[in-house]
Structure 1
Amino acid sequence: MTVTAAAAVAGLALPASSPALGASPQAATGAAAVQEHLQELQKIAEANGGHRASGSPGYQASIDYVKAKLDAAGFATTLQEFDSMGGKTYNLLAETPGGDANNVVMVGAHLDSVSEGPGINDNGTGSAAILQAALDFAGSGAQPKNKLRFAFWGAEEEGLVGSSHYVRTLPEQDRGKIAMYLNFDMVGSPNAGYFTYDGDDSDNEGAGPGPEGSAQIEKALNDSFGGAGVATEGTDFDGRSDYGPFIEVGIPAGGTFTGAEGTKTQEQADKWGGQAGQAYDPCYHSSCDTVDNVNQEALDRNLQVISAAVKTFAEQTPTR
């Protein structure tokens, strides 16, 4: 997650002979697979100067890893090149062969880390979770009514550069085909909170609601957590992650978040466990953001909610 607020393809054309979605029967699924992805991202960082910052060899290796997984499962993948910090880097987009191309559900997470560390919670967790949600959906054999497009953003940590480039350069007619955007940035914070983006502005903190339809997304995510016995709190659309460029152009958005450098209150500790008076992620933007900096329970709960959202919104989209 970036500290500052700062998007590609004119349409992701599918090859004429796109393979059907599927997954290897030997592949791990669910939470176990997410752990494998995080371990791989850690190894990539360790082999490339300790980080996966956009434009670096570690980021390129992260892109290669994720793309290979999605290609093997039958997604149509596209690399979108753009400039950041004086160099070339990429967004990775992957979409289902089937589904209504005039009604696209986007699910995104930034894949880059800061240069200070490997970025496993920020944002290996979000990237690994949406990757596995995509692979599990493919492995289920389900055929989506709506087209699903998964986005792995570059240069988020430099000010939402990748997602901003995508939205800015997308032709207006294709922008209008995006029914909604779901964002997952930091979903395994060690002193976790359970936040959903406040689509209806019910927390009354002044940031305002998301575009029309965002409240329905928030309700669906809250209901999913609630079904698992987890209470949630709203968090503002404050422009700190990749939903920002989408809500600026009126696209409904939502997502989940387990907290960054903010401090957990006593009331939150009573509700969720963890340590009051401590940061949700004490290793935020630092070298200790490794695989040991992940709350497994929070990550597993978020994966279940993300997977449920993918299945739900593959079939229906919010009213606008």
Structure 2
Amino acid sequence: MKLSVPVTGRAAATVAVAVATLFTTGSIAGAAPAPKVAAAPDISVTNVKAHLSQLQSIATANGGNRAHGRAGYTASINYVRGKLDAAGFTTTLQSFTSGGRTGYNLIADWPGGDTNSVIMAGSHLDSVTSGAGINDNGSGSAAVLETALAVAAADYQPTKHLRFAWWGAEELGLVGSKYYVNNLSSANRARISGYLNFDMIGSPNPGYFVYDDDPTIEQTFKDYFAGIGVATEIETEGDGRSDHAPFKSAGVPVGGLFTGASRTKTAAQVAKWGGTSGQAFDRCYHSSCDTTSNISDTALNRNSDAAAYAVWELSQ
């Protein structure tokens, strides 16, 4: 600090004490302390897998799927909403119509934070009609749910407002997320400072892919994976094919994680991540074998922790 005018007498003594205090304690006596940065909790993969087991049971009891407009989807929404309501979230069910069937988005707001600066995390909850959709996208849905429940358990009070979402009819062309974004006023769209998308984050032959749409969000995820010594690659397989796309088109900064779908893992990627070369990241993509046995616990654990890390880092 450089003083521009000479200071003498009592003022000089006061300045001297303040400077001495600054050098010895890192702050000036009487000044407000710097706000503490809260650390994200470790997300229990056991809890995330328990949600997946519930989604599997729901599918099994409802024709083997959790698809748009079917009983399995309604039961899935009710399961997630029940957990959030019990944890103290304000939940809203948004209905829309697609293909002659009613679909639903579930929106959950955590009370508090600056509603002019909203961090959203979301995932699609629907499956295709051919299977239970446990990796696609029970994995993202369960991780987002457990992250939201961790917010409640910690009574986390971030600077920004937190909102979580589970989208309907993604498998029919991002219908639910498009409906949500298109029905926001321009002012409310502008209030969303970031949307984080989690779609297929537990593939059994996983890669670790990070969206590169927004540099700040991208770097946040890269920082997490660098911290645990896991290399990442830029996500390209799902560009424009998941629920971040409508937000990006509306000018909202977006980012997210993905572990791969029908593309095959290369030898170079096996050297980086392990797994099987020449095999799809998810051999059960959009098929009946996408069950609870179609999950890499390691990938699910890492990506769930990364989701929480990004939510905490970007909201304070």
1:30–1:136 Cα contact (<8 Å) kept: no
Equivalence map 1:110-149=2 (5 Å): 110-149=124-163
Deviation (angstroms), 1:310 = 1.2
1:11-90 matches, within 5 Å, as 30-90=44-104
Say whether the 8 Å CA contact 1:224–1:308 is kept in structure 2: yes
| CA distance in 2 between partners of 1:295 and 1:44 (Å) | 21
Paired amino acid for 1:168: N
- Residue matched to 1:276: 277
Once residues 101 and 223 of structure 1 are traced to their aligned partners in structure 2, the CA distance between those partners, rounded to angstroms, is 27
Q: Deviations over 1:49-97 (max 9, x none)?
A: 0000011000000000000000000000000000111111100000111
Count of equivalent residues: 274
In the alignment, the residues of structure 2 paired with residue 170 and residue 130 of structure 1 have an alpha-carbon distance, to the nearest angstrom, of 22
Give runs of aligned pairs for residues 2-17 of structure 1, distance below 5 A: none
Amino acid of the residue matched to residue 285 of structure 2? Y
> Match of 1:292, SS?
coil
SS at match of 1:290: coil
Give the C-alpha shift of residue 266 in structure 1: 0.5
- Aligned match of 2:219: 219
1:290 partner letter: T
- The whole-number CA distance in structure 2 between the counterparts of 1:155 and 1:121 is 16
Alignment partners' CA distance in 1, 2:239 and 2:57: 32
SS in structure 2 at match of 1:151: strand
Question: Which aligned pairs between 1:299-310 and structure 2 lie closer than 5 A?
Answer: 299-310=300-311
Q: Do 1:113 and 1:122's aligned partners in 2 also have CA atoms closer than 8 Å?
A: yes
Whole-Å separation in 1 of the counterparts to 2:155 and 2:97: 37
**Which amino acid is the alignment partner of residue 234 of structure 1?**
I
Dislocated runs of 4+, deviation >3 Å? none
AA paired with 2:135? N
- Quote how far apart the aligned CAs of 1:261 are: 0.5
Q: Is the 8 A contact 2:105 2:167 kept in 1?
A: yes
TM-fit CA distance, 1:31:
1.2
SS in 2 for 1:135: helix
Alpha-carbon shift at residue 141 of structure 1 (Å): 1.6
**Structure 1 length normalisation: TM-score?**
0.84
Separation (CA, whole Å) in 2 of partners of 1:266 and 1:85: 42
Greater shift after overlay, 228-237 or 248-257?
A: 228-237
CA offsets, 1:153-209, max 9 Å, x none? 00000000000001111111111111110000000000000000023xxxxxxxxxx
- What secondary structure sits across from 1:293 in the alignment? coil
Per the alignment, residue 176 of structure 2 pairs with 162
**Rounded Cα–Cα distance in structure 2 between residues aligned with 1:267 and 1:89:** 41
Query: Which residue of 183, 192, 196 maps to 2:210?
Result: 196
Does the Cα contact within 8 Å between 1:96 and 1:147 map onto a contact in 2?
yes
Give 1:270 shift: 0.7
Q: Which residue of the partner structure matches residue 25 of structure 1? A: none
Matched AA of 1:232: T
Letter paired with 2:281: Y
| Displacement after TM superposition at 1:283 (Å) | 0.2
What SS is found at the alignment partner of 2:293?
helix
Structure 2 length as normaliser, TM-score?
A: 0.85
Q: Which has the larger radius of gyration?
A: 2
Kept in 2: contact 1:122–1:285 (CA 8 A)? yes
Match of 1:209 in 2: none
For structure 1, the 5+ residue unaligned runs are: 1-28, 200-213, 316-320
- Structure richer in helix, relative to its length: 2
Q: Secondary structure of 1:291's match?
A: coil
Contact 1:194 1:232 in 2 (8 A): yes
What is the CA–CA distance in structure 2 between the aligned matches of 1:178 and 1:49, rounded to whole Å? 37
- C-alpha distance in 2 between matches for 1:96 and 1:144: 10
SS at 2:104's partner residue? strand
Matched residues in 1 for 2:60 and 2:105: separation? 22
Residue in 2 aligned with 1:9? none
- Alignment pair present for 1:104 and 2:104: no
Are 2:68 and 2:101, in contact at CA under 8 Å, matched by a contact in 1? no
- Displacement, 1:30? 1.7
Q: Work out the percentage of aligned pairs sharing the same amino acid.
A: 57
Match of 2:179, as an amino acid?
A: H
Q: Distance in 2 between matches of 1:95 and 1:313?
A: 16
